[in-house]
Structure 1
């Protein structure tokens, strides 16, 4: 599939002006490039949440963890 040059599109009155076309083209490309993809971590990566909740709800008096050790464990789980 071939594309027509901007001059040809303007000559055929398919676009209003070259400048306006370029401006819209840049906006569309920028929006597509920088748009953040949204996804539900709880649904897609539930095992990570389960491990984190388990780590937070365990009995700390048995394991004798201090806050720094807990933080290190959570950071290891999160990645």
Structure 2
């Protein structure tokens, strides 16, 4: 139903890449897109989306986040993607 590949291809040229200078790697684009869509579908603010990812296992699963081994995007990261 959702054209994931087309949406990812549209956003990818603008999504930040890991630089040679180092720093924290960016979250996978597909994960951030899924988080953004859930945020819109459920009318969640950036802090509420962060909390939902921490508290709701089905939202983490849909976003492709494994809470045990992966970090969860904070509200500032979610805001930056939304502005992108």
Task: Give the TM-score band, short-chain normalised.
Answer: under 0.3
Q: Which has the higher contact order (CA 8 A, sep 6+)?
A: 2
Given the two structures, how large is their TM-score scaled by the length of structure 2? Answer: 0.24
**Higher helix residue share:** 1
Given the two structures, how large is their TM-score scaled by the length of structure 1? Answer: 0.25
Q: Which has the larger radius of gyration?
A: 1
